[in-house]
Structure 1
Amino acid sequence: MELDKQPKPDIRDYAHAIVKGTISSIPIPFVPGIAAEIFSILFTPSLLKRQDEWMSSIAQGLIQLQEKVEGFNLEDLSSNESFVTVTLQATQHALRNHQMEKLEALRNAVLNSALPNTLEDDIQLIFLGLVDTLTTWHLRILKLFDDPTMWAKENQRPFPKNWGMGGVSQVVNHAYPELERKGELFQQIVRDLSTYGLAQIPSGMMTVSGMLSSRTSNFGKQFLHFISTPKPLE
């Protein structure tokens, strides 16, 4: 009878347990002697803070999916090996990062991997690796050139109506004026996005229509979808 009075775990307990169990499985290398003491003083508070924020973020997202997606059950995730693998990988990347845009991308990847009919395992892991490798500027430029017109609408930054012939640099400089004097950085981003098969952003003069055309590949569109807010939570 006393056991019956004990509180039963609710959906938040399950979500927290899933993420906590995932994080606890990540090995932290042992550092002997005074080096370990210094390491603990310098990094433990920040690491614990990152861990707590990451756990809360994932748990809240999973709770929302449970509430909005018919047939979605948190308990089923414990036997979903693909989800567990993605969460482990994303957690390792998240604990090594402080940039909110990348943390949001990793969170969305975990939540999308929990949904049915997600991408195949290898592609998910490739995309997680790209989030870890690419900078926030890579992600911003890729999103911009996926659909410049939609980007302008979503960010309330319409492009000038009096543009004539021009190049993609005009689009970038209008969207992100801080890049105007960082041409080498932009060119490196363009090369990287091409190398990873995410986008082809041309140079040279073109019409306004060409300047505002989508430049992402199908692979790039898949990547952006995977790291974007899951449809049920939009």
Structure 2
Amino acid sequence: MSGLDMLGPMETNPPAHSKGRELTQTAIEAIVNLVPAVGSTITVLLMAGLNHKLNQRRERWLTELAEAVEELSRSLDGFDPDALVDNDAFVDAVMTATQTVFRTSQQDKIEVLRNAVLNSAMPGAPDLDIQQLFFDLIDRLTPTHMRLLALLNDPPGWFDRHPELTRPTFSLSSNRVQLISAALPDLGAQGQAIIERFFAPLADGGLVNGSIHGMMTAAGAWQPMTTDHASAFLAFIRDPR
């Protein structure tokens, strides 16, 4: 059984049914059925177009997920893709992640969802309740939130992984706003108020300790400020391949 077969059938249009043909056919059906108002016909066309787009998004997501499962099976001894259909945690993860995929076009978030689904089937995966908490976080947080969390979990490692960035030079007393601005230039360019807006959900969600405003030594600014829950979440969304 291939990875794609494992994930079940997908709703795809045969080659003859292009998007244009599908929309045209829908319009003809509306006319034949004597739809009374132009607005109603437009609504039918809009819904047909949205349905087509969502089906495309679903097909692309499941195809890429199946490819990732197949790649993982080649790199991880003992990983059996055929057993995944009987793995309740994996099935739950696929269904939960797919709902979020329908609501986002952000590729960074889709990649995080894929990683989380793969990790749900790994040995030592969190229990189902914790996994649900993690999927809720993925749904609520933006890619910027998750990048900020990864930075605050390991500031030196962030700069090691991004050599194009310039490490900030701290004075005797510093705060993490300067660190964040250097590590995430696009976020830093929007100013301190926006940085605070992205930081607040992390603090409210119990993912970080402390404040980004507190004055500290230069050495202190480089220390992680994430909680154990955040570290486990970041491990869950890391690519296992």
Bin for the TM-score computed over the shorter chain: 0.7 to 0.9
Give the CA deviation at 1:60: 1.1
Please point out which of 179, 182, 198 is paired with 1:189: 198
Instruction: Look up the match of 1:212.
Output: 222
Q: How does 1:1-234 map to 2 (within 5 A)?
A: 9=1, 13=2, 15-21=3-9, 34=41, 35-41=43-49, 43-156=50-163, 157-161=165-169, 163-180=171-188, 181-202=190-211, 203-230=213-240, 233=241
Describe the SS at the equivalent of 1:38. helix
- Identity among equivalent pairs (%): 30
CA distance in 2, matches of 1:55, 1:162: 46
Give the CA deviation at 1:189: 2.1
Question: Does the CA-based 8 Å contact 1:168-1:201 persist in structure 2?
Answer: no
Change (3 A) 1:211 1:40: same
CA distance in 2, matches of 1:89, 1:128: 7
Return the letter of the residue paired with 1:200: N
Number of paired residues?
Answer: 210
Return the letter of the residue paired with 1:225: A
CA distance in 2, matches of 1:178, 1:73: 41
CA distance in 1, matches of 2:160, 2:103: 33
CA distance in 2, matches of 1:176, 1:80: 38
TM-score, normalised on structure 2?
A: 0.80
Question: Does the CA-based 8 Å contact 2:72-2:79 persist in structure 1?
Answer: yes
C-alpha deviations, 1:89-144, integer Å up to 9, x for none? Answer: 00110121111111111000000011122110011011011101111211111011
Give the CA deviation at 1:178: 2.7
Question: Does the CA-based 8 Å contact 2:69-2:81 persist in structure 1?
Answer: yes
Return the letter of the residue paired with 1:187: E
CA distance in 2, matches of 1:54, 1:215: 34
TM-score, normalised on structure 1?
A: 0.83
Give the CA deviation at 1:151: 0.2
User: RMSD over aligned Cα, in angstroms?
Assistant: 2.0
Question: Does the CA-based 8 Å contact 1:193-1:200 persist in structure 2?
Answer: no
Return the letter of the residue paired with 2:186: E
Question: Does the CA-based 8 Å contact 1:20-1:55 persist in structure 2?
Answer: no
Q: Where do 5+ consecutive residues of structure 2 fail to align? A: 12-34
Question: Does the CA-based 8 Å contact 2:120-2:126 persist in structure 1?
Answer: yes
Question: Does the CA-based 8 Å contact 2:97-2:113 persist in structure 1?
Answer: yes
CA distance in 1, matches of 2:173, 2:92: 48
Q: Where do 5+ consecutive residues of structure 1 fail to align? A: 1-8, 25-31
Give the CA deviation at 1:205: 1.4
Change (3 A) 1:114 1:160: same
Give the CA deviation at 1:183: 2.0
Change (3 A) 1:162 1:212: closer
Give the CA deviation at 1:206: 1.0
